[in-house]
Amino acid sequence: MTTVQTFTFNPFQENTYVLYDETGEAVIIDPGCVEKDEYEELYGFIEKNGLKPVAIINTHAHIDHVLGVAAVKRKYNIPFALHQIDEPYLRAVKTYASNYGFYQFDEPEIDRYLTEGEIVKFGTTELEVIFVPGHAPGHVAFVSHADHFVIGGDVLFYMSIGRSDLPGGNHEILINSIRTKMFTLPDDYKVYAGHMHATTIGFEKKNNPFFK
């Protein structure tokens, strides 16, 4: 069984996730840590639970989701994976980071590209990569069919959806991604979003104001 641990980091209140199972192997999704105490919280949790991180996988490359990638990658000497379409958006972070008060963005290298339909494996866990563009053009989400959850990034939120006014964003594409890729998952699947608390596919199909 895969356990999902949520951390909320940086001024954007971004959710960073550590997924791990009984083998102790773990992946870190969207490490947004930037302050010393945030790194300590993440590293402390990993140490206390005896986890072995094996990869960083990202839903997309907006600044709030990548602030900690380079440091976490160095700390554990693990690969970083992102969808290729979001690579230019990762490279663009250094051009706008200072607008948000981050004057020295630590830019990570990408070790491999995530592709739609691939299965990310660690321990006994399998996560299906689904392609859900619209908030970011290379946005993906990670689905556990065994444990009925999706790490959805900034696509679908509790009673809301991701912004589409950022570079590369597109509202119609986002709506279509949610309709065809998220709402086709079973209703009981829990959605761990990039911001705010978790929800479920069934609840959002019924109550999300963007799909009335």
d(CA 108, CA 86): 13
Q: Which C-beta is closer to Zn ion: that of 137 or that of 194?
A: 194
> Hey, is 202 helix, strand or coil?
helix
10 bridge partner residues: none
Rounded Cα distance, 96 and 137, in Å: 18
For position 194 contacting Zn ion by CB under 5 A, the verdict is yes
137 binds Zn ion (CB under 5 A): no
Residue 190 interacts with Zn ion (CB under 5 A)? Answer: no
Per rule CB under 5 A, is residue 68 in the interface with Zn ion? no
Q: Tell me which stretch binds Zn ion (CB under 5 A): 73-81, 126-134, 151-159, 171-179.
A: 151-159
25, 38, 64, 204: residue in contact with Zn ion (rule CB under 5 A): 64
Q: Tell whether residue 30 is a contact of Zn ion (CB under 5 A).
A: no
Q: Is the CB of 123 or the CB of 152 nearer to Zn ion?
A: 152
Tracing tokens 């069919």 back to the chain, one arrives at 145
Q: Is 62 in the site for Zn ion (CB under 5 A)?
A: yes
In angstroms, give the least distance from the CB of 160 to Zn ion.
12
- 86 touches Zn ion by CB under 5 A: no
Residue length, the chain? 212
Stretch that binds Zn ion, among 43-51, 56-64, 123-131, 170-178 (CB under 5 A): 56-64
Q: Which residues, in sequence order, are bridge partners of residue 52?
A: 25
State how far the alpha carbon of 109 is from the alpha carbons of 35, 81, 106, 112, 195, in Å: 21, 9, 10, 9, 25
